[in-house]
Amino acid sequence: MKLVFALALALPVLAGQNDSFLIRNATVHPVSGPKLDNASVLVIDGKIAEVGAKIATKAKVRAIDGKGLHIFPGLIDSGSPIGLVEIASVRESSDTGEIGEFNPQIRALIAVNPESDHIPVTRANGITSVMVVPGSTGGRGGGSGSIISGQASLIHLNGWTWEQMEIRRGGALQMTWPAISSGGGRFGGGGDPDSMPAAMAARRTPFSEAKRNQEAQVRKIQELFESARRYQQAKTASEPGFKPDLKLEAMIPVLEGKLPIMVFAAREREIREAVQWAEKEKVKIVLAGVRRPGKMTEELAKKNIPVILSSPFTPPLEEDDPYDEPYSLPGALHKAGVKFAFASFGTQFARNLPYEASQGVPFGLPYDAALRALTLSAAEIWGIADQYGSIQPGKTADLIVTDGDPLEIQTQVKMMFIKGEAVDLETKHTGLYKKYLARP
Amino acid sequence: MRQQLLSLLLLACAAMIPTSAEVPSLIAIQDARIVTVSGAVIEKGNVVLNRGIITDVGPAAAIPKGAWIVDGKGLTVYPGLIDAFSTWGIPEAATAAPATGGGRGGAIQVQITPGQAATPQATPARSQGPQDRPGTNSWVKAADLVKPTDRRLDQARGAGFTSAVTFPRQGLIGGHGAVVNLGGETSGKMIVEPDAGLHMTTQPSGYSGYPNSLMGVFAYFRQLWLDAGHYKLSRELYAQSPASVPRPEYDRALEGILGARRLLLPASGPIQLDRMTGLSADLKTPAVYWGVVEGYRMADTLKKAGASVILNVKWPVKERDTDPEQVDSLRTLELRDKAPTSPAILAAAGVRFAVSSDGIDAPRDIIRALKKSIDLGLKKEDALRALTLSAAEIYGVSARLGSIEKGKIANLIVTTGDLFDDKTKVQLIFVDGVKYLPPPETPQGPAGGFPGGRPGPTGPVDQEVR
C-alpha cells in the first residue's frame, strides 16, 4: 500500500506529462456499463482515451499497477457552499446569503476560496466536483428570506485559482419556492418538552394570513420573470434607450432554457406549485431539498423533473413519520423513475456524501442507483454528462482509485485524478495524524 | 349635552335594575330541591340564611318569622361554585393570558408595583443570582389586590360562581393567593381566607437574567427556601438576645416565603409532576398542582403522592384557520381526545381535584367543559364536588365553603334545573347571604361586560341607601 501511495506522490516527476497515465489490472466501474475485472484505463492529456481488458500503449505514458484496486468516476456533490463557507458559525468566514429577495446576477464561482480546508477533506472520500451554491444553507450568514440567491457554479475540487476550478460558471439558478408557513414547527413551536399546553399554545400565524404572504411572494417571482422577458425583448430588438441591468441580464439564460433553476421545495404542495409555475414560465427546473413529494412523485417522473436530495441523517419531517422516512425516499423515487442526485448542502459534512447516498440502499434503493446518483445522474441533471459522470472514452479523467466500494465507510481512496492530474489526498486530518504520530 | 347626560343616566339605570333588589339579611328559600353536596340531595326542603350564614337546611327546616321568602318550587339550590385557580377579582389580570407554568407561551402579567405605580419604572437590572431575588413576588398578596369592581365578577356570578381562589401571577413566585367571595362592597369584605398558598411557575418571565433555565429555576427555589430558613433562625435568635446579636436585615421576599402554607406548583404532565413532587419535598411545603392537562396519564402518581390538583378545563381543541394539509401529531390528537376524560379518571382513582378558569373567557364555559367530561363518564356528583366542596377542602376552607350545611357561609345559587344542563338558568345568586341577579343576557361586548363597554354596577344595592 505504501508503495502505491509513494508512487502516486511521485507521479508528476515520473510521467512525461502530468495528465497522462495508464492504470492496469484494476476493477473498473464505468457506471455507464457493467464493471470490468482486470481492466485498464488509459488517460491521455486529461481525457479518458481507452477502457478495456488489454490496451496496447502506443503513447509513452507512465503505467500504474492497479492490482486489487477499483476505479470509479469521481463523485459529484450536487449542492454545497464549499469554498464560500469555512466555519458556518463565524460570520467573517461565511460568504453565502447575499441580502435581497432576488439576486440572479450573483455568481458563486468568483467567491470560491481554493485554499479552503474543506476541499482536501471532501476530496479524501472521493468527491471530485461540486455544485457550489451561493444561498445560505444555515449558519450565521445572511440571506434568509431570499427567493433567488444567485447562480450556483460547478467546480472541480482542485486548482490554484477559482478559474482553474471552474467546470461551469452558471450551473443553475438557486431559488427557494415560498412555502406557506403557519405551523410552529415540528412540535408546534417547541418549548418545554414536558409542557404540552405551552407547546400547543405556541404562537402561530393563521393559515389564511400565511397563505396571503406566500401568494404575495409568488407574485413577486412572476413579476421578476415578466420584467426579464420584457428586458430580453428590448435587448433583442435593440430598443433605443435600452439600459443594461445585470439582474435581468442574468435571467436571459434561464428564459432561454440554458440555465436550469434549482428550486428548493420540500413538500408536495410547494413541489406542485413550483412544477406548475415552471411549466407556465417554460423554464427548466431541478427540485432540491425534496422531503415529501407525495403524489407528485409520479408527476416528476412523467415530466422528467430531476431531484436533488439532501442528507437523510435527519429526523423525519413529522413527529409521527416512520424513522426511516428520510432513508426510504431515494428508493421510492428510484422505483417511480425519478432521476435524482445527492447534495451535502454543507461544508463540514460534505465528505459524508457517499455514505448519505448509501443509506438508501438497505431501504429499497438498488446499489447501482445510489452510485449512479453520485456520478452519472448528477452529471446528466447538470448537463455535463458528455464530459463527466462515467468512465468512457472521450470524457474528462475525473477518477478515483480505491481499495473497495467508495460508498462503504471503511474504503480508502488511494488515488484521485482530476482532469487526469493526480490530486494530493493529504488533508488537515492526515497532517495532524502524522504530526502527533511522530511526537516523541 | 343635557340629552346625552340624560340618556347616559337612563342607560345606567337600565343596567342597574336587573342586579338590584331589596334584600333583607334573613332569607328563606322554600320548597326547593337542595343539592347539599356534603350530604344527600333534599328533594324538597328549605334553606335559611341569616346575616351571611346558613342557619338551617332540611326538608322541614323552620322558616323564621320576618324572613324574606324565595319560593323555590321547581327550582334547585346548589352551593355557590368555586374557581379554584383564578385571577378573578384582580382587575389588572383581566386582559392577561392564561398561566402556562413552563415552556413558552404567555404568562400572566399582573403589574404589581404598589406605591410606585405613578413613577416611571426603571429598566430592572439583569439578575445575576439568587441574591437578586429574580421574579420573586412572595410579598405580594392577592388579598391586597382584589377589588369588587373587577368587571368579570358579574359574569362569574351569573354562571353560578360565588367564590374564587385568586392569585397574583407575575414572575417565578407570583405571590399569595386568597380565597375570595365574588361579591361585597369593599375589597376587605370579599376575603374569606387571605393565605391560600404561594403561586409558583418554572417559567422565566417578569425579570431578566438568572435563572434562565429549568435547572437554574430549581436551584434558585432551593436557595430561596434555605435563605428563608436561615432568616427565620436569625430572627428568632435576635428576638431572644437583641443585646448581643446583630439585628438581621428585614427581607420581604423571605417573609413571604415563610408565610406560605402551601405551594401552587405547575404540573401539566407526568414529567413536570415528578419534578414538582420532588420540589415540594425539598422545600418541605405541601403542594397543590395546577394545570394537569394530561391528567389522564397522572392519576396513579397523584394518588400515590396523595396530592390534590386544580384541573385546567380549557380542553385543547384544533385551532381555527390552520393549514388544511397539516397533519396533527398523534400526541396532539391524543391530548385533544383524552384531556376531557381526565376528571373521570382522576375521580375513579380517588384523586381530589378542583377546576380552574384558566384560559376560559366566559365563566359558563367552565361548566360546559365539565359537562363534556360528564358525557365521557364523569359522575355528575364528582363534577359538582370539583366545583364546590373539593375546592374548599384543597384550600382548607371546607368548614366555611363548598356545601349547603348549617353554619357555612351563605354562598349559594338557585337554578331552574340541573346545573350541567345547558338550558338551565341561574336565577338567584347569594354571596355572603346577599342576593344577586345574573347579568342580563344581552349580546356581550368584547370585555364581556355591559353594553357600551362601561364597567357595570356590581354588588347589591346597599340597604342603607334604600
Residue A325 belongs to a domain: yes
Give the largest Cα separation in chain B, rounded. Answer: 76
A349 and A272 housed in the same domain = yes
A326 and A426 housed in the same domain = no
Residue A182 pLDDT = 72
**H/E stretch holding B393:** helix B389-394
Average pLDDT over residues B321-344: 92
What are the φ and ψ backbone dihedral angles of B199, each rounded to 5 degrees?
Answer: -80, 130
Average pLDDT over residues B395-408: 97
Q: Do A197 and B105 touch (CB under 8 A)?
A: yes
**Is residue B372's pLDDT more than 90?**
yes
**Is residue B103's pLDDT more than 80?**
no
Average pLDDT over residues A331-340: 98
Cα nearest neighbour of B293 on chain A:
A197
A70 and A125 housed in the same domain = no
Round the average pLDDT of chain A to a whole number and report it. 90
Average pLDDT over residues A48-56: 90
Cell digits of residue A325: 422516512
Residue B124 pLDDT = 59
A104 and A158 housed in the same domain = yes
Give the largest Cα separation in chain A, rounded. Answer: 78
A150 and A296 housed in the same domain = yes
Of B103, B202, B322, the CB nearest to A199: B103
A139 and A23 housed in the same domain = no
Looking at the complex, report in whole angstroms how far the Cα of residue B258 sits from the nearest Cα belonging to chain A. 29
Helices (H), B293-329: 299-305
Residue A163 belongs to a domain: yes
Residue A188 pLDDT = 38
* Predicted confidence (pLDDT) per residue in B180-238, tens digit: 999 999 999 999 999 999 999 997 666 778 898 899 999 999 999 999 999 999 999 99
Residue A189 belongs to a domain: no
Of A195, A318, A319, the CB nearest to B268: A195
Residue B205 pLDDT = 64
User: What is the CATH classification number for the domain harbouring A153?
Assistant: 3.20.20.140
Q: How far apart are CA A225 and CA A104, in angstroms?
A: 11
DSSP calls for A275-305: HHHHHHHT--EEEES--B-TTHHHHHHHTT-
Looking at the complex, report in whole angstroms how far the Cα of residue A227 sits from the nearest Cα belonging to chain B. 32
On whether the CB atoms of residues A293 and A266 are closer than 8 A, the answer is no
What are the φ and ψ backbone dihedral angles of A357, each rounded to 5 degrees?
Answer: -70, -40
**Is residue A80's pLDDT more than 80?**
yes
A274 and A355 housed in the same domain = yes
| pTM of the full structure | 0.81
Q: Say yes or no: A210 contacts chain B, CB-CB below 8 A.
A: yes
Please report which confidence band the pLDDT of residue B337 belongs to, taking 50, 70 and 90 as the band edges: very high
User: What is the CATH classification number for the domain harbouring A19?
Assistant: 2.30.40
Residue A282 belongs to a domain: yes
Interface predicted TM-score of the whole assembly (ipTM), two decimals: 0.77
A86 and A172 housed in the same domain = yes
Q: How far apart are CA B161 and CA B170, in angstroms?
A: 24
Looking at the complex, report in whole angstroms how far the Cα of residue B203 sits from the nearest Cα belonging to chain A. 9
Please report which confidence band the pLDDT of residue A143 belongs to, taking 50, 70 and 90 as the band edges: low
A305 and A276 housed in the same domain = yes
Cα nearest neighbour of A269 on chain B:
B325
Q: Do A192 and B102 touch (CB under 8 A)?
A: yes
3-state secondary structure B63-77: CCCCCEEEECCCCEE
Please report which confidence band the pLDDT of residue A187 belongs to, taking 50, 70 and 90 as the band edges: very low
Chain A, chain B: beta-carbon pairs less than 8 Å apart = 92
**Is residue A428's pLDDT more than 90?**
yes
Cell digits of residue A278: 415552471
Residue A252 belongs to a domain: yes
A86 and A60 housed in the same domain = no
Average pLDDT over residues A31-54: 95
Domains in chain A, number: 2
Q: Which residues in chain B are closer than 8 Å to A197, comparing Cβ atoms?
A: 100-101, 105, 268, 291, 293, 312, 316
Residue ranges of B 208-237 with Cβ closer than 8 A to chain A? 214
CA-wise closest residue to A102 among A233, A311, A251, A1:
A251
Q: What angle do CA A366, A369, A374 make, to 5 degrees?
A: 135
A274: three-class secondary structure by DSSP? helix
Q: Do A320 and B330 touch (CB under 8 A)?
A: yes
Residue A374 belongs to a domain: yes
Q: What angle do CA B70, B76, B77 make, to 5 degrees?
A: 70
Average pLDDT over residues A152-175: 97
Q: Which residues in chain A are closer than 8 Å to B214, comparing Cβ atoms?
A: 192
**Is residue A198's pLDDT more than 90?**
no
* Predicted confidence (pLDDT) per residue in B244-299, tens digit: 999 999 999 999 999 899 999 999 999 999 999 999 999 999 999 999 999 999 99
Cell digits of residue B127: 439578575
Q: How far apart are CA B177 and CA A326, in angstroms?
A: 51
Cell digits of residue B46: 328549605
Range with lowest mean pLDDT among A14-18, A86-90, A180-184, B262-266: A14-18
Q: Which residues in chain B are closer than 8 Å to A213, comparing Cβ atoms?
A: none
Please report which confidence band the pLDDT of residue B95 belongs to, taking 50, 70 and 90 as the band edges: low
Residue A205 belongs to a domain: no
Domains and CATH numbers, chain B: 22-79+412-436 (2.30.40.10), 82-394 (3.20.20.140)
Residues in contact with A206: Cβ distance below 8 Å, sequence separation at least 6, in sequence order: A182, B320, B321, B322
Cα separations in angstroms, A218 against A83, A225, A273 = 31, 11, 10
Residue B101 pLDDT = 53
Q: What percent of chain A has pLDDT over 70?
A: 89
* Predicted confidence (pLDDT) per residue in B52-68, tens digit: 999 999 999 999 999 99
Q: Is B240 exposed, middle or buried (0-12, 13-18, 19+ CB in 10 A)?
A: exposed
Cell digits of residue B158: 351569573
Q: How far apart are CA B18 and CA B62, in angstroms?
A: 30
Q: Beta B76-79 vs B26-34: how paired, if at all?
A: parallel
Q: How far apart are CA A330 and CA A340, in angstroms?
A: 8
On whether the CB atoms of residues A201 and B100 are closer than 8 A, the answer is yes
On whether the CB atoms of residues B180 and B164 are closer than 8 A, the answer is yes
Cell 403524489 locates to: A295
The half-sphere exposure of A226 on its side-chain side, counting CA atoms within 13 A, is 6
A26 and A139 housed in the same domain = no
Cα nearest neighbour of A189 on chain B:
B104
Residue A60 belongs to a domain: yes
The half-sphere exposure of B459 on its side-chain side, counting CA atoms within 13 A, is 15
Q: Say yes or no: B321 contacts chain A, CB-CB below 8 A.
A: yes
Residue A196 pLDDT = 39
A150 and A163 housed in the same domain = yes
Range of the domain at A316: 75-178+245-384
Q: How far apart are CA B180 and CA B165, in angstroms?
A: 6
What angle, 0 to 180 degrees and rounded to 10, lies between the N-to-C axes of helices B342-349 and B380-387? 90
CA-wise closest residue to A264 among A149, A156, A186, A362:
A149
On whether the CB atoms of residues B267 and B289 are closer than 8 A, the answer is yes
Average pLDDT over residues B116-135: 66
**Is residue A192's pLDDT more than 50?**
no
B98: left (phi over 0), alpha (psi -120 to 50) or beta: beta
Residue A55 pLDDT = 84
Q: How far apart are CA B87 and CA B459, in angstroms?
A: 18
Of A188, A198, A318, the CB nearest to B102: A198
Amino acid identity at B290: W
Residue B109 pLDDT = 37
Range with lowest mean pLDDT among A178-187, A233-242, B282-291, B334-343: A178-187
Q: Which residues in chain B are closer than 8 Å to A207, comparing Cβ atoms?
A: 321-324
**Is residue B9's pLDDT more than 70?**
no
Residue B129 pLDDT = 86
Amino acid identity at A201: A
* Predicted confidence (pLDDT) per residue in A215-229, tens digit: 999 999 999 999 999
* Predicted confidence (pLDDT) per residue in B17-62, tens digit: 444 445 578 999 999 999 999 999 999 999 999 999 999 999 999 9
